[in-house]
Amino acid sequence: MKRMVIFLFCFLLMFPFSAFAHPGELDELGGHFRGSDCTYLLHEPTALAKEAKTKEELVQLIQKYNGNERCKRNLTPDRIDLDGHALGGKDGKTTRDNHASNGKSGRLTLRLGRTYPAELVECIDGDTAKFRVNGHVYTTRFLFIDTPESTIQVEPYGKEASRFTCSRLHQGNILLETDGNALFDKYQRLLAWVWVGKRLLQEDLAKAGLVEDFYDYGDYKYEARVRKAYEEAKRTGAGMYGKRAAGEREGAGTETRPQTKEKTAKTDHPPALENKTPERSGHPVLYTLLGLAAAAALYWLIRRLT
């Protein structure tokens, strides 16, 4: 009996490791309450959340679809963080319109659906660069396209895409055009169409066969143009879609991803959750093993002491 009590005690000690290993699970609206202060964070608005036109309407949806009874009791509109998203799917100012709107240097506020002159600060890769806009430097993720990786992980045609982009941007006369439902992604990168002179850089990359996939989480203004250029590149065998390039990709063990409505292979733009049950975060197996190890150690210690 004594051994059974010790075993049960160790098992209960292990339980918290796995039971609380998944903080921040998203609800059906695409958000969750922050445990420290019960602020509601709307990370990835679902179609259901986008039905709300105001924060007051969003409060009602949260009351209905979120299961955190403790935080819901004191929920008010001013305790909702939209995380840069616009309610009702409307263009306009969001809560994270601009990192530069703090008034320190009189910078203009960035808005959706606008075009801004930009100066190249640094090339990063085929679909990312740093620009100075209104006196503030923004790491900018090009809307809609994915080019092969060329920074931490080097994929076939990643360097070519990076060189192509950098060469075009060094021509100057750059305009950034904001579009979609959010100005920034979860990594605080500005999202924009990139114009060099009168040419759309995303379209030129696609036509050169340097776009491998799309992230399509909304209605973007120039989708059709870029898709048309992408199909042309595949048809003519440009860039990574040539026969020789296909052989190189197979030799490198890199699979060509099919064109999809949603981007699934990369993680820098996670898909918006559209009526799906979100996956839990964390490492449940790891936490469980740690809990078992702690329980076994405690069991051994108690046996030694008794």
Q: Is 285 helix (H, G, I), strand (E, B) or coil?
A: helix
141 is catalytic: yes
Position of tokens 């790491």? Answer: 139
Q: Which of 28, 44, 149, 160 is catalytic?
A: 149
Note if 163 is an active site residue. Answer: no
Considering 160, 189, 203, 249, which one is annotated as catalytic?
A: 189
What length is written for the chain?
306
Q: Which of 28, 44, 141, 212 is catalytic?
A: 141
Compute the C-alpha angle 187/193/195, nearest 5°. Answer: 135
Integer-rounded Cα radius of gyration of the chain: 24
Instruction: Name the CA dihedral angle for 251, 255, 256, 262, rounded to a multiple of 10 degrees.
Output: -160
Contact 125, 151 (CB under 8 A): yes
Q: Are 90 and 153 in contact (CB under 8 A)?
A: no
Cα–Cα–Cα angle for 18, 23, 28, rounded to 5 degrees: 120
Is 189 a residue of the active site? yes
Residues labelled catalytic: 141, 149, 189
